[in-house]
Amino acid sequence: MNKLYLKTFLITLSFCFAQSLNQDEKEIQRFVENKTSEAIDFLEKIVNINSGTLNIKGNQKVGKILQKELDKLGFNTYWVTYPKEVKRSGHLFAEMRGGKGKKITMVGHLDTVFEKDHPFQKFVRKGNKAYGPGVDDMKSGDVSMLYIMKALNHIGKLKDMNLTLVFIGDEEKLGAHYSIVRKELIDAGKWADIGLGFEGATGIETGTIARRSASSWILTTTGIQGHSSRVFSETLGYGAIFEASRIINSFREELAEEEYLTFNPGVIVGGTDTNYDPVNARGSAFGKTNVVSQAVTVHGGIRTISIKQLDEAIKSMKKIVSNNLPGTTATIEFKTSYPPMEPTKANYALLNKLEEVNISLGYGKLEPLDPSKRGAADISFIAPYVDAALAGMGPDGSGAHSEDEWLDLTSFPKTTTRSAILIYRLTK
């Protein structure tokens, strides 16, 4: 047997091995496919309950519906709540402690960006698409998590597993600093070996091995107020608006080409008299064309692929800020909200295991998703503590955070089945 033939034979053998499903796995697939209509009806029910982040009762109502189903499966379920000043629903936790295999923490969220006064409120089905608030981001992922548990229970394996399911109540807008409202989630990450995030997939042919961070920054510049005829002079200098413009443009010129680093000045308020509210991202300004500007506030965001990249970007941005134009001052402050989920070797290895399942089901090979195509998510809070993590495990959809948000209903049984089989294989 020559080397070329041997190599081809081994690749073919490996592919054939990956294609095989055992009887339990075939039964998982049958169960999920048979329950798809039921799952979609369940999804419609919870999509039609408004659970905007600030709607505490709505979030709790959706959570209690899921909690009731998980209780039936034998989970230990409980709510984690916070003081009234946090003004959020808290989180639903569900634990199974069977003592076998890898310990897995699965993450979803109950809230959506659509509050009670938003016109987008109803689930509407059009053929193989469903439209509705949170149908993609991420109530379909929550339903998928539930039906994975039902499938594993159906084959009699669920009670042997070590699982923690977390349904966050303020993913879209944190009610307090993450050290407060993500403490229990982080603890669940420290307990686990594997982390899986169930926000939507971006196609059955991709896997998410990394997600970028989400942080913010506020730039403040000052100038010397005076008659504009003396702007650029030694006595008045350049004014606050020119200084802010220099800094923002220098960010673009010096940092914009770095891979996976993005920063966006979302709002700017400047003039003689200014007022800015960072919580609501609103402000007002007064100024005149013949008066040198006295104050500017710029509020922006920054995303990075790693903590190292964030630290280096902050260092570079602070250096740019410190090189002031004559007659001006400038300061910049950073606030970290979501850490990155870094693309580790272990994450790639876990993706390979998911690919084996994908091939077994006839869905083909998987490619790592470009991290620039995904935003931040709660999986990033547990990713530093687990051995490996994957995100994007939920059904496929698009248009999140818009009135065109939709879900591909044909993807639901596919992503749910492959996730269930992955968990089954990891916990054997």
Q: 214-338 is classed in which CATH architecture?
A: 2-Layer Sandwich (3.30)
What is the mean predicted confidence (pLDDT) over 299-311? 96
**What integer pLDDT is reported at residue 136 of this predicted model?**
96
**What integer pLDDT is reported at residue 3 of this predicted model?**
44
Q: What is the model's pTM?
A: 0.89
For CATH 3.40.630.10, list the domain ranges present in the chain.
Answer: 9-211+341-426
pLDDT per residue over 144-186, tens digit each? 999 999 999 999 999 999 999 999 999 999 999 999 999 999 9
Q: 9-211+341-426 is classed in which CATH architecture?
A: 3-Layer(aba) Sandwich (3.40)
Q: Determine the Cα–Cα distance for residues 200 and 153; give it in Å rounded to an integer.
A: 23
pLDDT per residue over 57-107, tens digit each? 999 999 999 999 999 999 999 999 999 999 999 999 999 999 878 999 999
Higher pLDDT, 17 or 274: 274
Q: Determine the Cα–Cα distance for residues 405 and 101; give it in Å rounded to an integer.
A: 37
Tokens at residue 192, please? Answer: 């686990």
pLDDT per residue over 323-332, tens digit each? 999 999 999 9
Report the SS3 class of residue 334. strand
Count of positions (residues) in the chain: 428
For CATH 3.30.70.360, list the domain ranges present in the chain.
Answer: 214-338
Q: Are 325 and 238 spatial neighbours (Cβ–Cβ below 8 Å)?
A: yes
Confidence of residue 4 (pLDDT cuts 50, 70, 90): very low
Tokens at residue 176, please? Answer: 């307090």
- Beta-carbon contacts of residue 217 (< 8 Å; ≥ 6 apart): 263, 299, 300, 301, 302, 317, 332, 333, 334, 335
Tokens at residue 258, please? Answer: 């770095």
**What integer pLDDT is reported at residue 17 of this predicted model?**
45
